[in-house]
Amino acid sequence: MFKLGITGGIASGKSTAVAWLKQQHIPCIDADMVAREVVEPNTPGLQAIVKHFGDTVLHTDGTLHRETLGQIVFHNDNERLKLNEILTGYIRARIMELTCQYEQNGEALVMYDIPLMIEGSWHTMMDALWVIYVTKDTQINRLMHRNNYSREDALARIHSQISLDEKRAYATVVIDNNGTEQELYNQLQSAYTRLKVNL
């Protein structure tokens, strides 16, 4: 089974690229979805978060208060690293379980949408890694326009991940998304056509 890793940065257009690839009927393991699964109420993942960060990160119904937790971790590197450390084992186990299921089902190609692809060393198990790339200025402008973030908040979120320039060094394919959406789709089509030849 061919493992295609897709990564980018905040506001790079990775979600748009992944949506296009899903339209090509490529099965997808989505780390964000897995991360939500492992912090559902009464899971060991959520219990570990509450043990470290306290009850303030919970809503009254026992679900995770993502906004509160986000404010803590995006402005404190140590707390962000601690959150990643807490969740990594739970997320990794679930992703490996899903990988086994796809292999048993005989899939030829599976896409992995993992934001911390490189930081979590997931890239080492990929057969190819596509990086959706934009400049930092593009990221800032998109976050300020799309999410109404201040420049300071936009930069804090960008700096919470390794830079896209660093991620490029790991890429087998770089998809430049500084242009139009159609230009993005054209690059994806070209890269996907080349990939299918090698399957």
Question: Residues within the annotated binding site?
Answer: 11-16
Most distant CA pair in the chain, distance = 52
Selection from 31, 3, 7 nearest residue 102 by Cα: 3
Amino acid at 109: L
Crossing angle (nearest 10°) for helices 44-53 and 77-104: 180
Copy the structure tokens of residue 70: 């986000």
The C-alpha angle 21, 147, 184, rounded to 5 degrees, equals 30
SS3 content of the chain, % helix, strand, coil (to 5): 55, 15, 30
- Binding-site members for ATP are 11-16
